Amino acid sequence: MATNDSVDILNSAYLAVEYIDSFLPDNPLQQPFKNAWNYMLDNYTKFQIATWGSLIVHEASYFLLCVPGFIFQFIPYMQKYKIQQDKPETWEKQWKCFKTLIFNHFFIQLPLICGTYYFTEYFNIPYEWEEMPRWYVLLAQCFGCAIIEDAWHYFLHRLLHHKRIYKYIHKVHHEFVSPFGMQAEYAHPLETLILGTGFFIGIVVFCNHVILLWAWVICRLMETIDVHSGYDIPLNPLHLVPFYAGARFHDFHHMNFIGNYASTFTWWDRFFGTDSQFIAYKEKEKKQQLLTKK
């Protein structure tokens, strides 16, 4: 009975969104995107699209999303939004981070990306434009992937902080006490595999078109680069996402090496009380701000 009620609610929600979508103006970018997509299908094999297309999407998205945070360090006005103002970025750290990233991207992540084609073939995942899900379905699927990845990340990330394991794997990621955007995927190769597994679970559950692979890559990179940016920017559109953790939440984890283990949302840390030190820190910060105003 409960299952039928849930299905009815989801169907009603889907019909409501579909009804609202019918009143929205046509997306001017849809036709150029359709033409580009069909051109890609006509000129490249599925293996090339799944492998090299996925690599290009990942690399382009990662480094383009890192650009704003990289530029912020040169703008004096933006420094008031930097969370750890006493720990500026250095060229030495950024260069070291970049070299490790390139190694991880091409020697750890690329071999995994090479399995994308075989995944889509095994599960008969379509590539055709006509099979592409609507924007709201894609958005819901990405949100579902984020919920799954967040749960995986919380428990495995917390395990990697265990005193018997931490120094061998996760300590690499915590080399930078004050994080910056490009450092989001700076990690030990084993950590890349362990925590990265959570990314693929949602894909297995929700994927009904190859576009979800790329949309979820972009969404996940947008989130992880934001929380590692080191800047708490006002009017950040990601803060509109319910229970979104944000940069200040994760920056506290890097600052103190404890608590705030989730990647995207706050609910697991709240449920297990692993955000208690962060809450106390925020309360102390508020009191100091009030005293300063007086």
pLDDT in tens, 190-209: 999 999 999 999 999 999 99
Residue 118's CB: how many other CB atoms inside 10 A? 12
Mention every residue, 6+ apart, whose C-beta is less than 8 A from residue 254.
174, 176, 177, 178, 179
Among 129, 110, 140, residue whose Cα is nearest residue 219: 140
Residue reference for tokens 């590692």: 228
Contact status, residue 262 vs residue 269, Cβ threshold 8 Å: yes
pLDDT tens-digit readout, 214-241: 999 999 999 999 999 999 998 899 999 9
Is the predicted pLDDT of residue 284 greater than 90, yes or no?
A: no
Give the Cα separation of 143 and 229 in Å (integer): 21
pLDDT per position as a tens digit, 101-120? 999 999 999 999 999 999 99
| Residue 49 neighbours by CB under 8 Å, 6+ apart | 40, 41, 127, 210
- 98 membership: H or E segment, kind and range: helix 91-104
**pLDDT tens per residue across span 207-221:** 999 999 999 999 999
The mean per-residue pLDDT over the stretch 139-150 comes to 96
